[in-house]
Structure 1
């Protein structure tokens, strides 16, 4: 899970909802969603005749250089063009349009994560997060390993993150192996176009 810097919240989320209600749009949308009885699916509202998710998706993509926020997979496919809610929208409806809760993620990571959430789950855009503080890359097996001798707090976070995101699913391991085999001898290949960039750091 490669660290990235979150971009400022798009204005469309923080603009006043209306002249009568000057609270940010994302707050109003969260309150509306909380009132829904079925929260397994979210139909994004329209702003100026365009879906809200379409208005903010490009910014989400730009902040990770079009890589998955969790596994750093690249490029994102059409099946990946949905927004992942770090805190699941079904359990945290008020955060359904909260900018800090929205991530771009590949279909694999979205499926693995599903509706799982734990306060221990690491955020790739958290200021204090650093991959090398929790994990190391096993270049022999191409697996992501938890560092030995971590503090209890860090160990719990690393274990929970690995459990929820399933870093070492066999397909992910094979994908990383192919990335390494294909690009380890190409030091001048554009870094932003590499899949699983943390392998090459």
Structure 2
């Protein structure tokens, strides 16, 4: 799944407000468990989302599906779910927010596990955890990885539904398109599932 990317520093407008907004949200949820989350004006949602999309080059941070906004809504995912009391304070934290496709968001929903992988973690490399099966379109734990890394890969595949049938089919289709590309005019970032394509040419 995840293609590595580097998270830039938190923008100034969030540095000034994310913690206060998180505390405000936490207090509201304690007062009323049915309180509905929304993006406060000072969060500057459109600007923040654009910065996060630029970080992943408009790809989903989890499955690496590309062209968010055309193929899927440009949603923001809370890696540590805002619905869980221990994470209420992180609801507006820059480091907890990722551009995400509809499918990844609906598969993961409000689940979380400390073993979950994320591609902007320091030292993250796809091959340390996963391998690609080009015949089936699957992403599998790397059998040469440590037991801990294989377990983390398994949990990540499970929670994001990375090997459901439709995803395997789409990866194989994208691989076919990639192999037929014009290398003079097409670059890897133009395609989805870049981790799946890297060793395929």
Asked if these proteins are the same fold (TM beyond 0.5), I'd say yes
Which portions of structure 1, spanning 4 or more consecutive aligned residues, are displaced by more than 3 angstroms?
Answer: 38-41
**How much has 1:187 moved relative to structure 2?**
5.5
Q: Match of 2:46?
A: 54
The answer as to 2:57 corresponding to 1:65 is: yes
Using a 3 Å threshold, how does the CA distance of structure 1 residues 169 and 71 change in structure 2: closer, same or farther? Answer: same
**C-alpha RMSD of the superposition:** 1.6
State the aligned residue count.
189
TM-score scaled by length of structure 1: 0.88
Instruction: Give me the whole-angstrom Cα distance separating, in 2, the residues matched to 1:170 and 1:58.
Output: 31
TM-score scaled by length of structure 2: 0.88
Instruction: Give me the whole-angstrom Cα distance separating, in 2, the residues matched to 1:143 and 1:35.
Output: 43
Instruction: Give me the whole-angstrom Cα distance separating, in 1, the residues matched to 2:96 and 2:34.
Output: 16
CA contact (8 A) 1:27 1:97 kept: yes
- Structure 1 stretch displaced more, 142-151 or 185-194: 185-194
The answer as to 2:107 corresponding to 1:112 is: yes
Q: Match of 1:19?
A: none
**How much has 1:39 moved relative to structure 2?**
6.0
Instruction: Give me the whole-angstrom Cα distance separating, in 2, the residues matched to 1:39 and 1:85.
Output: 18
The answer as to 2:153 corresponding to 1:158 is: yes
Partner SS for 2:64: coil
Q: Match of 1:200?
A: 197
Q: Match of 1:14?
A: 15
CA contact (8 A) 1:86 1:103 kept: yes
Instruction: Give me the whole-angstrom Cα distance separating, in 2, the residues matched to 1:106 and 1:114.
Output: 12
**How much has 1:150 moved relative to structure 2?**
2.7
CA contact (8 A) 2:140 2:153 kept: no
CA contact (8 A) 2:82 2:91 kept: yes
Using a 3 Å threshold, how does the CA distance of structure 1 residues 39 and 73 change in structure 2: closer, same or farther? Answer: farther
Q: Match of 2:6?
A: 5
1:96-148 alpha-carbon deviations (Å, 9 max, x no partner): 01111000000000001100000000111101211111111101111101111
Instruction: Give me the whole-angstrom Cα distance separating, in 1, the residues matched to 2:176 and 2:139.
Output: 16
Specify which of 34, 37, 46 is matched with residue 26 of structure 2: 34
